[in-house]
Structure 1
Amino acid sequence: MRFMILIKADRDSEAGVMPSEQLLTEMGRFNEELVKAGVMEAGEGLHPSSKGARVRFSGRDRQVIDGPFAETKELIAGFWIWKCASLQEAIDWVKRCPNPMPGESEIEIRQVFSAEDFGEALTPALREQEDRLRAEVTRQNPRG
């Protein structure tokens, strides 16, 4: 199973405050553990929402909304993609994670859909397209 681990933003991360050297060191050690255990597939920090945008869909209409976005508790400061045997394994790893923010923080764990989750709606032609696109992405970005 694959999981997306979402590190929630806080006021400091949204203000562009960079993590301390100590936190970067602790996270580096944690990431090394994840890699050595074969859990981590990807992980990145995100710039504040002030440097981003949202696109709101309403039928055929599209509206671009420039950041920053007001609800900090709903924003993401970073993410990992992990491969774990179960949700409980992902929870156990998150509980070992250094606190990603100076004060209180929250990390959300969400399972990533696999092709099997879509059942009959994922026809053989759609599965072939999915496999072809994944192979092309891997070819374009061999580091992961």
Structure 2
Amino acid sequence: MRFMVMIRADANSEAGVMPSQELLAAMGQFNEELVKAGVMQAGEGLHPSSKGARVRFSGSQRTVIDGPFTETKELIAGFWIWKCASLQEAIDWTRRCPNPMPGDSEIEIRQVFDVEDFGEALTPELREQEERLRAEVAAQANPLA
């Protein structure tokens, strides 16, 4: 199973305050443990919402809303993609994570859908398209492979 593990933003991350050297070192060590265990597939920090945008959909209308966004507690400051055997394993890894913020913080864990989760709605043609696109993305990520 794959999980997206999301670090919630706080006032500091939204203000563009960079993590301390100590936190970067602790996170680097944690990420090394994740990689060595075969858990981590991706992980990145995100710029503040002031550098982002949202696109709101209403029928055929599209409205662009520029950041910053006011509800800091609803924003994401960073994420990982982990491969774990269960939600409990993802929780166990998260409990080992250094506190990602100077004060109180929260990390959300959500399972990522796999192709099999879509059942009969994913026709053989759509499945083939999905597999082809995944192969193209992998080739783009590793152009020398």
Q: Distance in 2 between matches of 1:135 and 1:72?
A: 36
Q: Secondary structure at the match of 1:119?
A: helix
Q: Which residue does the alignment assign to 2:20?
A: 20
The corresponding residue for 2:128 is 128
- State the alpha-carbon separation in 2 of the partners of residues 3 and 39 from structure 1: 10
Determine the C-alpha separation between the residues in 1 that align with 2:5 and 2:26.
Answer: 17
Q: Secondary structure at the match of 2:100?
A: coil
Specify the alignment match of 1:48 in structure 2: 48
Displaced runs of 4+ in structure 1, greater than 2 A?
none
The corresponding residue for 1:99 is: 99
Report the equivalent of 2:112.
112
| Deviation (angstroms), 1:142 | 1.8
Distance in 1, matches of 2:49 and 2:101, equals 17
The CA deviation at 1:59 is 0.3
User: Structure 2: how far apart are the matches of 1:142 and 1:91?
Assistant: 30
Matches of 1:48 and 1:71, distance apart in 2: 12
Shift of 1:9: 0.1
Q: Partners in 2 of 1:115 and 1:108 — Cα distance?
A: 22
The RMSD of aligned alpha carbons is: 0.8
In structure 1, list runs of 5 or more residues that go unmatched: none
Deviation string for 1:4-62 (max 9, x for gaps)?
00000000000000000000000000000000000000000000000000000000000
Secondary structure of the structure 1 residue equivalent to 2:47: coil
Q: How many residues align?
A: 143
Q: Which residue of 1 aligns with 2:10?
A: 10
Q: Deviations over 1:79-109 (max 9, x none)?
A: 0000000000000000000000000000000
Does residue 39 (structure 1) correspond to residue 26 (structure 2)? The answer is no
**Secondary structure at 1:77's aligned position in 2?**
strand
Instruction: Report the TM-score when normalising by structure 2.
Output: 0.98
TM-score of the superposed pair, with normalisation by structure 1: 0.98
Distance 1:49 1:106 in 2: 17
Once residues 36 and 112 of structure 1 are traced to their aligned partners in structure 2, the CA distance between those partners, rounded to angstroms, is 22
| In 1, Cα distance between equivalents of 2:63 and 2:123 | 33
* Structure 2 Cα separation of the partners of residues 140 and 39 of structure 1: 22
State the secondary structure of the residue aligned to 2:132. Answer: helix
1:84 and 1:128 mapped to 2: Cα distance? 25
